[in-house]
Amino acid sequence: MRSARLLLLLVMLVLGSYATINGAASASSATEETAMWMSVGEQRFAITLTDSAAARALAGLLPLALEMSDLNRNEKYATLPQPLPAKASRPGTIRNGDLMLYGKDTLVVFYKDFDSTYAYTRLGHINDASGLAQALGPESVKVTFTHDR
């Protein structure tokens, strides 16, 4: 019976579920574990991170303030203070609000939809990207990433 409970707990944890054992539920939630905030001036954008080693490593760097440069009038990018574990693939279509890693140490925030042949590691997506292009503007901009609101 004890090994069956242990196996059930292990399976539920692997699947990302929350187990209740002896009536005690886990206090954390999936939203809290995968949420991040991006601030540009007075505007704040909620980001949902992917369940990946790269996204967890990025979350471990927070809080993080970056001067992000513009590229191609569709993205902002900045070099991170340390490389992240990359698992790049070609996404094909990039969406407004995508948060990606280029190479191992370049964080990219996309603010327009377009097709791309480049390979990126997906880190997450801005939940509501309306107003993102206006907030980021056409020039370099300071962007702050945090865990809290």
pLDDT tens profile 114-126:
999 999 999 999 9
125: domain CATH number is 2.40.100.20
Instruction: Tell how far CA 127 is from the center of its chain.
Output: 10
CA dist 19 and 6 (Å) reads 11
Residue 136 belongs to some domain of the structure: yes
Residue 115 belongs to some domain of the structure: yes
Residue 37 belongs to some domain of the structure: yes
pLDDT score recorded for residue 20 = 32
Domain count, the chain: 1
Residue 101 belongs to some domain of the structure: yes
Q: What angle do CA 96, 45, 18 make, to 5 degrees?
A: 100
Tokens standing for residue 107: 């964080």
pLDDT tens profile 8-58:
333 333 334 333 333 333 333 333 445 899 999 999 999 999 999 999 999
The backbone region for 105, taken as left when phi is positive above 0, alpha when psi lies in -120 to 50, beta otherwise, is alpha
Inform me whether the pLDDT recorded for 1 exceeds 90: no
Residue 3 belongs to some domain of the structure: no
pLDDT score recorded for residue 35 = 84
Residue 123 belongs to some domain of the structure: yes
- The parent domain of residue 59 ranges over 31-146
Question: For the range 5-12, what are the long-range contacts, defined as Cβ-Cβ under 8 Å and sequence gap of 24 or more?
Answer: none
Question: Which is more confident, 17 or 97?
Answer: 97
pLDDT score recorded for residue 149 = 63
Among residues 144, 147, 61, 39, the alpha carbon closest in space to that of 105 is found at 61
Residue 50 belongs to some domain of the structure: yes
Question: What is the average per-residue pLDDT within 88-97?
Answer: 95
pTM, two decimal places: 0.77
pLDDT tens profile 52-89:
999 999 999 999 999 999 999 999 999 999 999 999 99
CA dist 41 and 47 (Å) reads 16
pLDDT score recorded for residue 97 = 98
Residue 66 belongs to some domain of the structure: yes
